[in-house]
């Protein structure tokens, strides 16, 4: 259910209204054929693969017209050993180039959900990322938690971040991942009006806290499944983690190297999110409440 105080209605003209913000519910073809599931049906982020997907329950089918425009991409439905590695919080002047070196070594391509402040500080890294076949998507202006501000202010920040990011990349921004995975209902609906599709994840390494490289890599390796969207980081720009004194010191490039080594042994390849969702049926979930992510 939506958080208390939010109102969602579907108007006769096909528009969805959330907290007073009207958003076009007309979605690209790949969203209309999407599989819409409850969040818990997709599995815990550390559940082992291959994670077969259940059929949608009756409530999801009945509520599809209202829920689909508010849903987030979690993974895709496929039996092929293909997935998307995704990296949040960059670019970082040292760690991101090291990650790009490792990805190039393995011939893997990924999606980087970036912070606009960091993009403007290091535009050359963004240009290299794009030139090497990776995808750039929006994570925010900074790592502020947008569920802590009014919905309209959150949308204003997303709009500004998108505009500033596109000024550097020279390309339209297609995807948005909210910081902490925390998604208010106004943003869930309003991001569509900004031309953004919300992307969360279906596997992670929990790499926002420090730990041994192999232990961190093993969490992601164990959770790999066909069609996964894997959450990783090329830096930690998280005031909550910093306040707890838990900022990582391990090599993110080495974590990625070990994940890619295991992926190669299992026949997996990584492609950007845009390519993944264009090639396969998208699995979407309504995540307008905060997911179980306490520190991201």
> Which stretches within the chain are classed as H helix?
29-32, 58-62, 64-67, 95-106, 116-121, 123-131, 151-169, 185-193, 213-223, 239-243, 252-265, 273-279
Q: Is residue 3 part of a domain?
A: no
Q: Is residue 46 part of a domain?
A: yes
Instruction: Evaluate whether residue 109 is within a structural domain.
Output: yes
Does 1 fall in a domain?
A: no
95 in a domain, yes or no? Answer: yes
Tens-place pLDDT, residues 136-172 = 999 999 999 999 999 999 999 999 999 999 999 999 9
Q: How far apart are CA 170 and CA 177, in angstroms?
A: 20
Tens digit of pLDDT for each residue in 86-118? 999 999 999 999 999 999 999 999 999 999 999
CATH number at residue 281: 3.20.20.370
User: Residue 174: CB partners within 8 Å, gap ≥ 6?
Assistant: 137, 195, 196, 197, 274
Closest CA to 207 of 110, 98, 290, 88: 88
Task: Tell me the per-residue pLDDT of 110-143, one tens digit each, with 9 for 90 and over.
Answer: 999 999 999 999 999 999 999 999 999 999 999 9
The answer to whether residue 296 sits within a structural domain is: no
Task: Show which residues are catalytic.
Answer: 88, 233
Assigned domain for 282 exists: yes
> How confident is the model at residue 61, as a pLDDT?
83
For residue 293, is it within any domain? no
User: What is the domain extent for residue 12?
Assistant: 8-286
- Output the average pLDDT for the chain: 85
Number of domains in the chain: 1
């Amino acid at each position: 259910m939506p958080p208390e105080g939010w109102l969602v209605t579907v108007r006769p003209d096909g528009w969805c209204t959330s907290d007073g913000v009207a958003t076009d519910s007309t979605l690209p073809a790949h969203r209309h054929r999407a599989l819409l599931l409850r969040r818990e049906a997709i599995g815990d982020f550390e559940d082992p693969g291959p994670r077969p997907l259940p059929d949608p329950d009756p409530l999801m089918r009945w509520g599809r017209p209202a829920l689909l425009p508010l849903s987030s991409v979690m993974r895709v439905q496929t039996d092929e050993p293909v997935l998307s590695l995704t990296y949040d919080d960059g670019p970082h002047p040292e760690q991101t180039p090291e990650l790009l070196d490792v990805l190039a070594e393995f011939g893997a391509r990924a999606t980087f959900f970036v912070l606009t402040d960091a993009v403007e500080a290091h535009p050359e890294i963004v240009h290299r990322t794009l030139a090497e076949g990776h995808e750039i998507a929006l994570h925010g202006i900074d790592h502020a938690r947008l569920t802590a501000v009014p919905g309209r202010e959150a949308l204003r920040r997303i709009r500004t971040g998108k505009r500033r990011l596109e000024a550097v990349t020279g390309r339209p921004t297609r995807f948005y991942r909210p910081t902490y995975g925390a998604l208010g209902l106004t943003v869930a609906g309003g991001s569509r009006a900004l031309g953004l599709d919300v992307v969360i994840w279906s596997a992670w390494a929990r790499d926002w806290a420090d730990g041994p490289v192999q232990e961190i890599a093993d969490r992601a390796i164990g959770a790999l499944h066909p069609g996964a969207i894997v959450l990783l980081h090329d830096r930690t720009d998280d005031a909550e983690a910093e306040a707890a004194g838990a900022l990582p010191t391990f090599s993110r490039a080495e974590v990625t190297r070990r994940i890619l080594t295991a992926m190669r042994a299992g026949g997996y390849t990584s492609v950007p999110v845009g390519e993944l969702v264009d090639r396969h049926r998208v699995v979407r979930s309504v995540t307008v409440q905060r997911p179980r992510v306490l520190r991201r």
